[in-house]
Amino acid sequence: MTSHVEDSGSSARLSPFEPGPDGAELFTAQGIERAWVFAVPMRVKFRNITVREGLILQGSAGLAEAAPFRNYPPPVAATWFAGAFAVAARGLPAPLSPVPLNVTVPVVDPDTAARLVRESGCSTAKVKVADPRSSLEDDIARIRAVRAALGATGKIRVDANAAWSLAEATAALPRLGEAAGPGGLQYAEQPCQTLAELVELQRATGIPVAADETIRLGGQLTEVLASGLAAAVIKAMPLGGPARAAALVADGLRAAAPGVTSAPLLVVSSALDTGVGLSAGLALATQLRTKAACGLGTLRLCTDSILTADPRIENGFLYPVETLELKGNLPPVSPEVQQWWRNRVEQVAAGFARL
């Protein structure tokens, strides 16, 4: 996954967005009054991303974020836009509740990993592994540093982003679990690509496994909830917004109930969202009433913000912000990035009626 790199230093960029003809028709039909394109630099490269891009949409109920990654095909991107349209038109449920967070540890050296954990105030850490820039031994060293920073009672998750084959995951996960120390791993997030592989991996190793891409890209939420996997990672916008995501989870749990002995842990997470998208994640976590540490602390990975005030991270919790207001003095996004998103909206508009 790649992203265009703005020559912006550490500053966020924001420009008014003018869609093409099909996009303009779609925006009008969905009640979108204004739109902006943003580009926010990352502190460290994260899954090969150095700048997070996307659109902010304004409707009658407020702001919404539509930021599917560049490498996602138009049908997948369209679901993210559908979620943004719903939020812009109907808003978020109120009041939003503070939620516990996990700290996300990207592919960094052990000292940096430990510092990120200590500064976060979180008692749960999600450690990125299986990255092409990092060996298994590097991953083990990073996890050991995270354990030392968390203390004996903290929880460690790992996230492989579907990078391993079943054989590779079967060999690697026990070593990562050993590095995590007492209690091992809370779970391993999406070690392999297919749901069948995830189920077999959990059975073969005894290590709890969570699904993310299987839900977010594969559309197999109901199947995951019925599979016996230990956890399901739920992201608001890829499922059509917080209201639709909560409804899909409720329907899936009801359908799965007769065949499973225990429901999976529900973990609400972000997709490197700005404060606008994180507010939608907070809404979903509030609706699901999940007690699990959420992956909504990713603002720490960005160098700047497009909002005058973001949801606040304090003592390992994310607190909602009362009003979402865009900054008015940010430098503009490059013409190339604006044109890329204009083309993306045209692609989405062409297939939106098929959703």
Is it the case that residue 4 has pLDDT exceeding 90? no
- Say what the pLDDT of residue 3 is: 38
| Closest by Cα among 99, 24, 28 to 280 | 99
Is it the case that residue 116 has pLDDT exceeding 50? yes
The residue from 45, 126, 155, 235 that is catalytic is 235
Binding-site residue set: 159, 189, 212
Is it the case that residue 153 has pLDDT exceeding 50? yes
**Burial of residue 284 (number of CB atoms within 10 Å: 0-12, 13-18, 19+):** buried
- Say what the pLDDT of residue 142 is: 99
- Which domains, ranges and CATH numbers included, belong to the chain? 15-93+328-353 (3.30.390.10), 99-319 (3.20.20.120)
The neighbouring-strand residues paired with 30 are: none
- Quick: pLDDT tens for 210-261: 999 999 999 999 999 999 999 999 999 999 999 999 999 999 999 988 877 7
- Say what the pLDDT of residue 260 is: 77
Q: What is the mean pLDDT of the chain?
A: 94
- Quick: pLDDT tens for 249-273: 999 999 988 877 788 999 999 999 9
- Say what the pLDDT of residue 261 is: 74
pTM of the predicted protein model: 0.92
Quickly list H helices, 30-159.
74-90, 110-120, 136-150
The alpha-carbon radius of gyration of the chain (Å, integer) is 20
14 alpha carbon, distance to own chain's centre: 21
Is it the case that residue 1 has pLDDT exceeding 60? no
As given in the structure block, the two tokens for residue 6 are: 């703005």
The residue from 128, 155, 291, 327 that is catalytic is 128
Active site residue 235: yes
Binding-site residue set for Mg(2+): 159, 189, 212
Residue 337: count of CB within 10 angstroms of its CB: 21
Active site residue 126: no
Average pLDDT over residues 64-85: 95
- Quick: pLDDT tens for 278-330: 999 999 999 999 889 999 999 999 999 999 999 999 999 999 999 999 999 99
- Quick: pLDDT tens for 156-195: 999 999 999 999 999 999 999 999 998 899 999 999 999 9
Cα–Cα distance between 232 and 214 in angstroms, integer? 9
- Say what the pLDDT of residue 352 is: 83
- Say what the pLDDT of residue 93 is: 81
Cα–Cα distance between 328 and 307 in angstroms, integer? 9
Q: Are strands 99-100 and 317-319 parallel, antiparallel or unpaired?
A: antiparallel
